[in-house]
Structure 1
């Protein structure tokens, strides 16, 4: 029973938390007690938006590939967003990790965070006018755990149950205490309408746009070709402080193209309005056109402070040839980043050397002090080098002739029991060749992979590219049906429960999980649990660095690269607030500028 008799109001920099002898009550929640919410209970809007931004106009985007569903919560199909699904909470973009109410107005939780109560806004409505209630929240949780994508079961694996306390009040009880992130990520649960799905099969894909509650809904579409989202004029939450100054476009149209080249052509022709460019060669060479030179088509780079995670060639360690970490380590010497960066990427990238790159959680040097104390009990289970040698990526002179690196690779492969016979690298015991496929769906990546394959050939390794369409690629990743794949694990400033699905043993053989490497390591499992139970940001950083080291020295990935900026192009008919965001570009706070649009039209004519 909640005890709210001895209430003390604590005021911290405009943020208030009401506390009884055993329960906290607030409009906001931070990750750690030492962190205070920036915005108080009566805040009008986030500082980084324009609260008076006009509504209207449209923005046209370009997608790559296709879609065959509007149901993105199951491990089937290739779904596209409807813009209609909301959560109980939302995060601010100018704090490390602080949540504020969206469908929920306030939250309650104990000091040990062993449960959380969400008090829903009575005005929250589905697009059909029916109120959002605790029944919807409980049903959403139970259904996503039972029938949803596997990631929900890992993300919310520590949740005991969801309990309806009243029409607009729901409580989540946890299996463990001390998991400080868990009440916050419960608020990230997609809330779906129970009454809508009552006579529909949740486990099947659908092109009938599901009912939602958010600021947009599907107005028009043609399967696989385009989607038009329209702003909901009577959206229940449009005047909430967390939404003010955002969701300003009347329409958002997304057209789907075969590949990135087609999207770039559409942008330069004026058929779409905005692109976030992710290829360095295209950024350097494809936009040297008059419209860019005249400032009609804006080309801008926005530095950010986001963690860049890990992108790399991922070994499927379930495959027999990749079970030996020494083999995985050896093959990493065949990737010549310095040559690729100079020749293919115009020098724009930095080599990734951490699973938590561009963050305070990235490891460096050798473990010392508190980090060493965490790892010491596992010394017999870990490589000795982890304790004595700094983890460094192989480097070259960028000439394209990485002979010294290939010699190191050859020695490692020989130590691992591989021999050259008839110019092929084979297993000395059974004579099987070291041969594998690299699964891709983007033709643009072939130019990056082919030099890697060429270097592998010099070791006697036979590697080939298998290029498949997007749908087949997604299905094969879900089934872990690949030898090697290029993949990116994103990270946040506050890594937590999602790490179980990335690297945990329970996720390794689960269809649809993101443990693509097939990691099954009790040390990794225990470090993840330690990380999740951190009681301060300093403790989180130290524990995450320990996990980072163990993952790196497991050689599950050949790390690739990252860039600490967003590269965008857009036609000059939009405005945005002047304040830069640590998280980079956020088009949700942009608005259509009618004066600019008319001037652009005149200039282009």
Structure 2
């Protein structure tokens, strides 16, 4: 990262290479500028966490919830400034980068402790690395960024050195981003069976009560080793975060309106436009806000398994894209609240640098012609398409009933051209197992994004055969592989982004997904009883940043209780929050 390779001190390492030392001498531990100065500690925040995952172990289950939960319990060597995105101390209090950008030496803060009182050591870091890279462990997606390193060398109890096989702009992020686990607790166990019990942690929270399939509560640790760091004041304020699991979002919304959940992010336009109304909303007991910040834009789409018939033919995949009437869905089901995807890296394009990918139109004639070219002919008796005696019938693997109304429209248009789709609904855990094994034909997948684009995990050919990875479609393209390799040694972010746009335009032409839609803000509902930063959310975060920046406000709680008892309104809050106007 170019921004952090500045303002450094030079010294000579034991290897004789000039090196950059971090943090620089000018760095100071200062308060987080987003955190509220009035934040207090205490209380419980009740949250909606989606479906119960197959594992809380993020190394084994690569989902957003497990990542968030794991991140509260296990720390990384490096932290990150929430505004500048520059690296800051985490478990490591200082580190060096060799002049050739291939050797990274981390010194662990000697104050760092596990919750059982034992020190966090370099041996824990080495054991965590070895565990992730062990071929028998189902940690596929996490192996990608660490494969560039040789096994790290423990120099002493608090010092560990990573040496990379090749220069890569991501190397510092990868080594510094390992969530370190306690060797003395897990050594000798079958890592693939460590799913829900984590008795020893180093982070600010630990797991409390679990009601399997219903909720998990995590509890704030008063004895957290880094509790008094200035940059952590006003962050992680709730004594308890209670994550409630619901198989269907509609049930979670009903629980929210009853006050059993405190925050509800809205991903359904009908709910935002039609159901988030009535006395509780009109009286401002529930706040309804759109937050516009700098959250990176991911993408979502119907992923097609390119490894399997019939989606191993690009003409078929393109036809499937032309058969999805996105404009109709946006108009009739989503109140034109969304923009339609034409890219896998939407936030890399601007008005001054527009996306050249044309918007894929709903076009049955075009789809029929593509299918004809691919050898699909309608059976005159059934009307269904056939090829070499095989009928065009496929399974759509889904995990959420909210997809049904979209799939119903899609199914009708598919049927009209002779394609039969069957819905295969499973819970999250079963869906994830099928995805890990590539046991699907088509599914709905939504992906987040990072400020720093790294296309390797999802789009490199070598990742297409890694079970449990992110290249779920089996995408392989030699030109994309060449560009991925080339961008690894480029430290200038803008140059890398230019290459990512090239990659995007190649992927677009291969149709691994039927692209869907997205929205450029966070739509948030919450009970009007909390203290929040002026910006409400962080600069780059989604609704989850509220979990750690908000706090219990006794005055607001009392005002809400009085207003509800007396059927009186509370003062309104701004319906739209723009980060750049408030920070």
Answer yes or no: same fold by TM over 0.5: yes
The C-alpha deviation readout for 1:292-320, integer Å capped at 9, x for no partner, is: 11111111110132232221011100112
Q: Does 2:407 align with 1:449?
A: yes
Shift of 1:16: 4.0
3-state DSSP class of the match of 1:245?
coil
Equivalent of 1:316, from 305, 313, 320? 305
Cα separation, 1, equivalents of 2:406 and 2:261: 28
RMSD: 2.4
3-state DSSP class of the match of 2:473?
coil
Preserved contact between residue 70 and residue 209 of structure 1 (Cα < 8 Å): no
Equivalent of 1:26, from 22, 32, 51? 22
Shift of 1:64: 2.6
1:130 counterpart residue number: 118
* Structure 2 unmatched runs, 5+: 13-17, 566-583
Equivalent of 1:419, from 363, 377, 400? 377
- Higher mean alpha-carbon deviation, 437-446 vs 72-81, is at 72-81
1:583 counterpart residue number: 540
Equivalent of 1:540, from 484, 490, 496? 496
Shift of 1:461: 1.2
1:593 counterpart residue number: 553
The C-alpha deviation readout for 1:339-359, integer Å capped at 9, x for no partner, is: 100100011100011111123
1:362/1:433 CA distance change after superposition, 3 Å:
farther
Preserved contact between residue 361 and residue 545 of structure 1 (Cα < 8 Å): no
Preserved contact between residue 461 and residue 481 of structure 2 (Cα < 8 Å): yes
Q: Does 2:178 align with 1:189?
A: yes
1:242 counterpart residue number: 231
Shift of 1:393: 2.0
Q: Does 2:380 align with 1:392?
A: no
* Structure 1 unmatched runs, 5+: 1-11, 29-38, 367-389, 396-401
2:160 counterpart residue number: 170
1:75/1:287 CA distance change after superposition, 3 Å:
closer
Preserved contact between residue 45 and residue 244 of structure 1 (Cα < 8 Å): yes
2:417 counterpart residue number: 459
Preserved contact between residue 151 and residue 512 of structure 1 (Cα < 8 Å): yes
Cα separation, 2, equivalents of 1:199 and 1:537: 41
Q: Does 2:103 align with 1:115?
A: yes
TM-score (structure 2 length as normaliser): 0.89
Equivalent of 2:335, from 332, 346, 356? 346
3-state DSSP class of the match of 2:8?
strand
The C-alpha deviation readout for 1:442-475, integer Å capped at 9, x for no partner, is: 0111101111111111111112221112221111
Aligned structure 1 segments of 4 or more residues deviating by more than 4 angstroms: 75-80, 360-366
Preserved contact between residue 365 and residue 391 of structure 1 (Cα < 8 Å): no
Aligned length in residues: 547
Equivalent of 2:193, from 198, 204, 209? 204
1:161 counterpart residue number: 151
Cα separation, 2, equivalents of 1:101 and 1:556: 40
Shift of 1:202: 1.9
1:382 counterpart residue number: none
Cα separation, 1, equivalents of 2:352 and 2:504: 6
The C-alpha deviation readout for 1:38-97, integer Å capped at 9, x for no partner, is: x951141222123552111111112232246443322599968363111111222223x4
Shift of 1:363: 12
Cα separation, 2, equivalents of 1:68 and 1:510: 19
2:569 counterpart residue number: none
Equivalent of 1:503, from 459, 474, 483? 459
**Aligned ranges 1:212-361 → 2 under 5 Å:** 212-360=201-349
1:371 counterpart residue number: none
Cα separation, 1, equivalents of 2:57 and 2:295: 29
Cα separation, 2, equivalents of 1:170 and 1:254: 36
